[in-house]
């Protein structure tokens, strides 16, 4: 049986290509009879390898060690699906739109950063919105798994580590941005005397394909960059004593502007969504290579 080439990076499905002028409705005709196939970098068609979902979840748990984190949500399988999976889809945030895209792709497992359930304990009564979301998963027999803080923090597959690497910085091993006892962010160093701040802002723009919100209150060159994907603006207070010249996060907070100015740091808010596409997508690619699965990343761009 053919397995995936290591060069196969998985397809990318953007809702922008599929949406109507109102932005949300998926219009591509489903092809329910077509077997899921993918192409290697050389163009060859390969068949995905059906894999027990228990093996995939075990691999994810071994990689990400979610038990280390006191997270805001349950990590791991949130909604059961088929016993065997051939296609894995990845996306940032659970939503009806994302679930419909996964159904079109005939995914057996959808892996996300922000899952359906938050808090501890069983979810409360199911409202109409949750019913609709679950109905899409049940009707298409798609399992849902979510990994949150473990996927920000991972030293290789995490959002922060991947952002550092993509910006040309060397991730440092120093722990940064603790949530309870576990570090969830990272510090990264640019070579030499650092990177000109304007060049850093431009690289962030290019990487995330959107204009970041910048409070340029730091030095002309950034030698050490602190990174906390998502909603990490309050880690400014940790970034200054850690020796950082700038903090890159996703969402700003109103109080962050004056805080950045008073601390003398740049704050770069590059988008919550935009800073959290990297980890889950890399995880999907890793699983595709490990098990011979077909992987698609489902992009539902969000300006926040
Ligand atoms: Zn997030």
In a domain, 152, yes or no: no
Q: How far is the CA of 99 from the centre of ligand 1 (A)?
A: 18
Q: Alpha-carbon distance 207 to 201, whole Å?
A: 10
Q: How far is the CA of 232 from the centre of ligand 1 (A)?
A: 9
Among 32-41, 57-66, 251-260, the range scoring the smallest mean pLDDT is 32-41
Total of domains in the chain: 2
State percent of the chain over pLDDT 70. 84
CATH assignment of the domain containing 130 = 3.40.1390.30
Radius of gyration (C-alpha) of the chain in whole angstroms: 20
Pairing mode of beta strands 182-189, 176-179: antiparallel
| Residue 27: exposure state from Cβ atoms within 10 A (0-12, 13-18, ≥19) | exposed
**204 and 171 in a common domain:** yes
Domain that holds residue 186: 158-272
Helix (H, G, I), strand (E, B) or coil at 299: strand
**87 and 40 in a common domain:** yes
In a domain, 133, yes or no: yes
In a domain, 3, yes or no: no
Q: How far is the CA of 107 from the centre of ligand 1 (A)?
A: 23
**259 and 162 in a common domain:** yes
**268 and 291 in a common domain:** no
Q: How far is the CA of 271 from the centre of ligand 1 (A)?
A: 10
Q: How far is the CA of 170 from the centre of ligand 1 (A)?
A: 23
**104 and 173 in a common domain:** no
Q: What is the mean pLDDT of residues 125-135?
A: 94
Phi, psi of 260 (to 5 degrees): -60, -45
Q: How far is the CA of 115 from the centre of ligand 1 (A)?
A: 10
Q: Alpha-carbon distance 250 to 95, whole Å?
A: 20
Sign of dihedral through CA atoms 59, 63, 68, 72? negative
pLDDT digits (tens, 9 = 90+) for 61-115: 999 999 998 888 899 999 999 999 999 999 999 999 999 999 999 999 999 999 9
**285 and 243 in a common domain:** no
Residues 6+ apart with CB under 8 A from 290: 59
**266 and 198 in a common domain:** yes
Structure confidence at residue 119 as a pLDDT band (50, 70, 90): confident
pLDDT digits (tens, 9 = 90+) for 201-237: 999 999 999 999 999 999 999 999 999 999 999 999 9
Would you state the pLDDT for residue 25? Answer: 34
Is the predicted pLDDT of residue 253 greater than 50, yes or no?
yes
Neighbouring C-beta atoms of residue 117, cutoff 10 Å: 16
Which residues are in the CB-under-5-Å shell of ion ligand 1? 230
Q: Alpha-carbon distance 226 to 56, whole Å?
A: 32
Would you state the pLDDT for residue 10? Answer: 54
Say if residues 291 and 52 touch (Cβ distance below 8 Å).
no
Q: Alpha-carbon distance 120 to 75, whole Å?
A: 11
User: In degrees, to the nearest 5, what angle opens at C-alpha 210 toward C-alphas 248 and 104?
Assistant: 110
Pairing mode of beta strands 224-228, 246-249: parallel
Q: How far is the CA of 90 from the centre of ligand 1 (A)?
A: 15
Strand partners, 13: 298
Q: How far is the CA of 179 from the centre of ligand 1 (A)?
A: 14
Q: How far is the CA of 276 from the centre of ligand 1 (A)?
A: 6
Is the predicted pLDDT of residue 5 greater than 70, yes or no?
no
């Amino acid at each position: 049986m053919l397995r995936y080439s290591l060069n196969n990076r998985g397809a990318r499905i953007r809702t922008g290509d599929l949406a109507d002028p109102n932005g949300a409705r998926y219009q591509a005709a489903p092809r329910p009879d077509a077997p899921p196939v993918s192409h290697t970098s050389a163009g060859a068609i390969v068949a995905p390898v059906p894999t027990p979902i228990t093996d995939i979840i075990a691999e994810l748990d071994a990689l990400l060690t979610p038990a280390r984190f006191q997270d805001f949500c349950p990590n791991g399988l949130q909604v059961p699906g088929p016993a065997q999976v051939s296609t894995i889809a990845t996306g940032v945030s659970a939503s009806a739109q994302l679930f419909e895209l996964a159904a079109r792709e005939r995914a057996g497992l959808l892996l996300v950063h922000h899952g359906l359930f938050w808090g501890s304990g069983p979810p409360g009564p199911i409202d109409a919105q949750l019913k609709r979301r679950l109905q899409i998963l049940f009707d298409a027999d798609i399992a849902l798994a979510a990994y949150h803080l473990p996927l920000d923090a991972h030293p290789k597959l995490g959002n922060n580590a991947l952002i550092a690497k993509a910006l040309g910085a060397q991730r440092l091993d120093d722990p940064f941005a603790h949530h309870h006892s576990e570090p969830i962010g990272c510090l990264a160093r640019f070579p030499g005397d650092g990177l000109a701040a304007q060049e850093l802002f431009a690289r962030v723009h290019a990487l995330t394909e959107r204009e970041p919100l910048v409070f340029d209150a730091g030095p002309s060159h950034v030698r050490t960059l602190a990174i906390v994907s998502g909603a990490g603006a309050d880690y400014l207070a940790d970034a200054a004593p850690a020796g950082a010249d700038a903090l890159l996060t996703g969402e700003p907070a109103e109080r962050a502007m004056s805080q950045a100015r008073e601390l003398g740091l740049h704050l770069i808010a590059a988008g919550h969504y935009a800073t959290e596409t990297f980890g889950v997508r890399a995880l999907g690619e890793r699983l595709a290579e490990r098990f011979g699965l077909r992987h698609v990343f489902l992009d539902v761009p969000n300006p926040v």
